[in-house]
């Protein structure tokens, strides 16, 4: 068999914000329903039920002095250092996010110039041929950016690509909506490099779908549930959680199975499933559904979870998971040479994607 070009991850990095927000920190909050009615249940009962449903006990928020491009830069620095490369060698810098830079004192989205351009500037890269752009693709943005980077490398034009996922969802969540307890902040990054190999390594296959005709409005921007705040022009992220749950449960396992088939990999060969995390019980249900499709036993510790302490950090979840495991910071989980991994995510669009990856 002749050598072929494959895309392999040579460096990882992440930034986990320092501000820990526990469920009890919401005990002074006032929550309203979508019709503007104040919820009458005891706030402690509300947060306890929330944790039971989602498994989220705490989450991380950025401090007021930071914005998304800052934490994207922090993760990028670590990934570059981990890979041991000169940043001037980068061919592309791709940043996946959803809301750009949103300052603590102003909820307006700021995306000009692109966050990738800001990261490149902060890295001090002089080369004009390190092309930088952003990917706004909902929570699956980082996985999709990884897929795009793979295309660049497989084309033979790129040798090294920096792929970052960063978001500060805490800045755009409605403080009077229970769903605000789901959202978190964070950043994760990898260096993807070209490598020749006789046997398949790195990114083996991928699958993406966009269900916009029926499901494009399951995540959307709207006014606050609080009647007084709703009189202003401020907009916040909203979601139809129940329908999203059903959609993800039905479609994510199908997308994963299609990616596995493309790679000619059986589910029994997979060592870790790194999945986007917004609801621990939803992820458990999707995992059960996936193994039911193949009618094989569900292995222990196949799906590392961080949602209970990191919350939903959107595009940062999957690369952060990978970074923590690679660096031995998410015991008992570990990843070894030859292991087959799945990177998968679902989110606004509605979009779903999956990547099958074999460790070098």
What pLDDT score does 39 carry?
A: 95
Count CA atoms closer than 13 A to 229's CA, side-chain side: 18
Q: Which residues contact 201 (CB under 8 A, 6 or more apart)?
A: 6, 8, 195, 358, 359, 360
Going by the DSSP 8-state scheme, the letter that residue 60 receives in this structure is: E
Q: b vs e for 1-19, b when ≥16 Cβ sit within 10 Å of the residue's Cβ?
A: eeeeebbbbbbbbbbbbee
pLDDT of residue 1: 56
Give the span between the Cα atoms of 67 and 108, in whole angstroms: 12
Tens digit of each residue's pLDDT (9 = 90 or more) over 62-114? 999 999 999 999 999 999 999 999 999 999 999 999 999 999 998 889 999 99
DSSP letters spanning 84-130: T--GGG-SEEEEE-SSBB--TT----B-SS-HHHHHHHHHT---TTS
DSSP assignment letter at 298: P
Written as tens digits, the pLDDT of the chain (360 aa) is: 578 999 999 999 999 999 999 999 999 999 999 999 999 999 999 999 999 999 999 999 999 999 999 999 999 999 999 999 999 999 999 999 999 999 999 888 999 999 999 999 999 999 999 999 999 999 999 999 999 999 999 999 899 999 999 999 999 999 999 999 999 999 999 999 999 999 999 999 999 999 999 999 999 999 999 999 999 989 999 999 889 999 999 999 999 999 999 999 999 999 999 999 999 999 999 999 999 999 988 999 999 999 999 999 999 999 999 999 999 999 999 999 999 999 999 999 999 999 999 999
C-beta separation of 225 from 33 below 8 A: yes
Domain regions of the chain by residue span: 4-197, 202-358
Architecture of domain 202-358: 3-Layer(aba) Sandwich (3.40)
Model confidence pLDDT, tens digit, residues 273-294: 999 999 999 999 999 999 999 9
Nearest by Cα to 76 from 139, 157, 164, 5? 164
274 φ/ψ angles, rounded to the nearest 5 degrees: -100, 105
Q: Do residues 148 and 135 lie in contact, with contact meaning Cβ atoms separated by under 8 Å?
A: yes
Dihedrals phi, psi of 69, to nearest 5 degrees? -65, -30
Report the C-alpha gap between 270 and 120 in whole angstroms: 35
How far apart, in whole angstroms, are the C-alpha atoms of residue 74 and residue 208? 28
d(CA 80, CA 307): 26
Shared fold status for 4-197 and 202-358: yes
Q: What is the pTM of this model?
A: 0.96
Q: Which helix (H) or strand (E) holds 353?
A: strand 351-358
- DSSP 8-state assignment for residue 64: T
Alpha-carbon distance of 167 to 321, in angstroms, equals 15
The 3 state secondary structure assigned to 263-277 is HCCCHHHEEEEEECC
Spatial contact of 314 and 347, defined as CB atoms under 8 Å apart:
yes
4-197 classified as CATH 3.30.420.10: no
Distance CA 225, CA 39 (A): 11
* pLDDT number for residue 242: 87
């Amino acid at each position: 068999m002749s050598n072929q070009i494959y895309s392999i991850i040579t460096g990882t990095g992440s930034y986990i914000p320092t501000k820990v927000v526990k469920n009890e920190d919401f005990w002074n909050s006032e929550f309203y329903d979508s019709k503007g009615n104040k919820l009458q249940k005891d706030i402690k009962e509300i947060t306890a039920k929330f944790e039971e449903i989602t498994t989220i006990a705490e989450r991380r928020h950025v401090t007021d002095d930071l914005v998304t491009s800052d934490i994207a830069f922090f993760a990028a620095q670590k990934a570059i250092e981990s890979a041991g490369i000169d940043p001037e060698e980068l061919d592309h810098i791709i940043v996946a996010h959803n809301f750009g830079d949103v300052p603590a004192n102003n909820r307006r989205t700021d995306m000009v110039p692109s966050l990738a351009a800001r990261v490149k500037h902060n890295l001090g890269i002089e080369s004009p041929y390190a092309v930088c752009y952003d990917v706004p693709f909902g929570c699956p943005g980082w996985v999709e950016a990884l897929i795009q980077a793979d295309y660049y490398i497989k084309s033979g034009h790129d040798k090294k690509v920096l792929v970052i996922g960063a978001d500060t969802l805490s800045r755009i969540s409605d403080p009077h909506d229970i769903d605000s307890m789901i959202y978190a902040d964070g950043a994760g990054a990898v260096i993807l490099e070209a490598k020749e190999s006789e046997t398949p390594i790195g990114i083996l296959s991928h699958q993406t779908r966009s269900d916009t005709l029926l499901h494009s409005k399951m995540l959307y921007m709207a006014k606050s549930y609080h009647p007084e705040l709703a009189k202003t022009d401020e907009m916040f992220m909203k979601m139809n959680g129940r329908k999203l749950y059903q959609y993800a449960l039905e479609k994510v396992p199908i997308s994963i199975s299609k990616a596995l088939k493309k790679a000619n990999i059986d589910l029994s060969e997979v060592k870790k499933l790194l999945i986007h995390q917004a609801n621990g019980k939803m992820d458990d249900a999707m995992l059960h559904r996936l193994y039911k499709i193949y009618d094989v036993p569900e292995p222990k510790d196949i799906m590392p979870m961080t949602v209970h302490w990191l919350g939903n950090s959107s595009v940062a979840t999957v690369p952060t998971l990978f970074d923590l495991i690679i660096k031995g910071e998410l015991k008992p989980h570990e990843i070894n040479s030859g292991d087959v991994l799945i990177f998968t995510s679902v989110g606004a669009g509605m979009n779903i994607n999956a990547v099958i990856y074999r460790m070098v």
